[in-house]
Amino acid sequence: LPLDERLQRRIIDGERTGLEADLDAALATRPALAIINDTLLAGMKTVGELFGSGQMQLPFVLQSAEVMKASVAYLEPHMEKADDDGGKGRIVLATVKGDVHDIGKNLVDIILSNNGYEVVNIGIKQSISAILEAAEEHAADAIGMSGLLVKSTVVMKENLEEMNQRGVARRWPVLLGGAALTRAFVEDDLRALYSGEVHYARDAFEGLSLMDRVMA
């Protein structure tokens, strides 16, 4: 197989042996981020489709996720870094309560960290109380929530309502992302109920440009 297809195959099959050599070969031809965005994420997309249609079982999805994570970890040191280390602002990042998906969140972490933001990544399955506590403790400038389950979109709505209720909505602009969300849900439904600033980020790069806008 050609290199690109082989890398995608590794994600789909959860095959780690020889992964580094293939990633090295890919790095010789293009930047680390392009490998993630154009090749590896396409593999994860196929995994999602196979799982969704019942052609792939959960333990194999987990193996694919592990190869994806290992690939990102291997590529990360090769990514371009801005000079203003952490100086642009601080964001608390979490996957919401009840949701374990963290590959997207961790990509957002990498992209923001490499582009001048300090990221306090508090992990998966985080309640709104834990998120707000972290934002308070680290004097965050913004809060980012990720969630991939349809259920998580409901949790995000409840989280914003809770922030309204606690009177902290105006304190932290909120960035939301994850596969189950839509722009319309965030920009129409959630904005209508939330008294602070809330934005939808389709991917990690939109997350970065939104942070640049929010912090300007």
Closest CA to 21 of 73, 77, 78, 74: 74
- Please indicate whether residue 99 is annotated as part of the active site: yes
Nearest to ligand B1M of 19, 103 (CB atom): 103
Give the contacts of 33 (CB within 8 A, at least 6 positions apart). 75, 79, 80
Nearer to ligand B1M, 26 or 121 (CB): 121
Between 58-75 and 103-114, two packed helices, what is the crossing angle to 10 degrees?
A: 10
> Residue 209 belongs to what H/E stretch?
helix 204-215
What φ, ψ does residue 92 adopt, rounded to 5°?
-95, 130
Q: Is 149 in the site for ligand B1M (CB under 6 A)?
A: yes
Upper half-sphere CA count for residue 48 (Cβ side, 13 Å): 12
Stretch of 22-30, 102-110, 128-136, 182-190 contacting ligand B1M, by CB under 6 A: 102-110
13 is catalytic: no
Draw the binding track, 46-75, toward ligand B1M (x: CB under 6 A; -: no contact).
-xx--xx-----x--xx--x----------
Find the catalytic residue in 64, 71, 101, 146.
Answer: 101
Q: How far is CA 98 from CA 6, 12, 41, 95, 166, in A?
A: 34, 25, 24, 9, 22
Q: Site for ligand B1M (CB under 6 A): which residue of 31, 89, 98, 123?
A: 98
- Confirm or reject binding of residue 146 to ligand B1M (CB under 6 A): yes
> What is the distance between the alpha carbons of residues 121 and 129, in angstroms, rounded to a whole number?
15
Residue list 190-209, contact with ligand B1M (CB under 6 A): 201, 203-204, 207
Compute the least distance from the CB of residue 31 to ligand B1M, in Å. 15
Active site residues: 99, 101, 152
Residue numbers at the binding site for ligand B1M (CB under 6 A)? 41, 44, 47-48, 51-52, 58, 61-62, 65, 93, 98-105, 107-108, 144-146, 148-150, 175, 177-180, 201, 203-204, 207
